């Protein structure tokens, strides 16, 4: 699976007055009608407790210039306090969760969860979504994060693929 390129996103949720954030490559689109995504998180990670049914959270698809932010958020054992310190973000209207200034953002409400091995599959109904100022993306493969520029994204467009 390390050979499968994964689009990098940051999942965020509010724990009381604190922002909890985690880097994920498991965010995928499930359906457009109604808009639905899923993410797979460690069941015993800090986010695991927050993405429960009915819980609200957010995901930011990060842009090509955000590798340093991703490295900080993915740092093991970083404290609960100040997880997004120095990282530009605003608070989502529907979730209260942090939306990073990235390529795109989603606000979500958990509709279903399923425990699988030591992970939790979390299905989220999209409450709101929008584009950020970044136009490229970051892709993870073989333990490294690479930038995919917006010009490369235009190559080999597939029939029926989403435009933005
Ligand atoms: C590129 C990359 C992708 C990751 N993808 C996931 C993922 O899909 N699901 C997940 O639970 N953790 C993923 N992780 C690990 C989390 O970012 C994080 O380290 C883990 O959830 C533990 O977080 P915690 O110490 O805040 O509880 C990924 C890390 C990196 C660097």
Q: Measure 118 CA to ligand 1 centroid, in angstroms.
A: 13
Higher pLDDT, 48 or 134: 134
Residue 79 contacts residue 147 (beta carbons within 8 Å): no
Ligand 1 proximal residues by C-beta, below 6 Å: 8, 22-26, 40-42, 45-46, 74, 76, 140
84, 78 Cβ separation under 8 angstroms? no
Ligand 1 atom with least separation from CA of 74? 17
Please write the tens of the pLDDT for every residue from 65-122.
999 999 999 988 888 888 899 999 999 999 999 999 999 999 999 999 999 999 999 9
Mean per-residue pLDDT over the chain, rounded: 93
Structure tokens at 72: 């900080």
- Per-residue confidence (pLDDT) for residue 35, from 0 to 100: 98
Count CB neighbours of 91 within 10 A: 13
Task: Categorize the per-residue pLDDT at 162 as very low, low, confident or very high, splitting at 50, 70 and 90.
Answer: low
């Amino acid at each position: 699976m390390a050979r499968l390129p994964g689009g990098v996103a940051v999942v965020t949720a509010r724990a009381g007055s604190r922002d909890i954030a985690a880097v994920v490559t498991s965010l995928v689109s499930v359906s457009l009608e109604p808009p639905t995504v899923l993410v797979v998180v460690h069941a015993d990670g800090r986010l695991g407790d927050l993405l429960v049914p009915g819980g609200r959270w957010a995901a930011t698809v990060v842009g090509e210039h955000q590798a340093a932010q991703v490295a900080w958020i993915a740092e093991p054992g970083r404290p609960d306090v100040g997880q997004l310190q120095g990282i530009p973000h605003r608070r989502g209207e529907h979730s209260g969760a942090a939306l990073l200034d990235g390529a795109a953002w989603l606000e979500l409400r958990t509709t279903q969860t399923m425990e699988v091995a030591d992970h939790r599959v979390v299905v989220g109904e999209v409450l709101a979504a929008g584009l950020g100022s970044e136009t490229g993306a970051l892709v993870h493969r073989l333990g490294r994060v690479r930038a995919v520029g917006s010009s490369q994204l235009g190559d080999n467009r597939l029939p029926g693929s989403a435009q933005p």
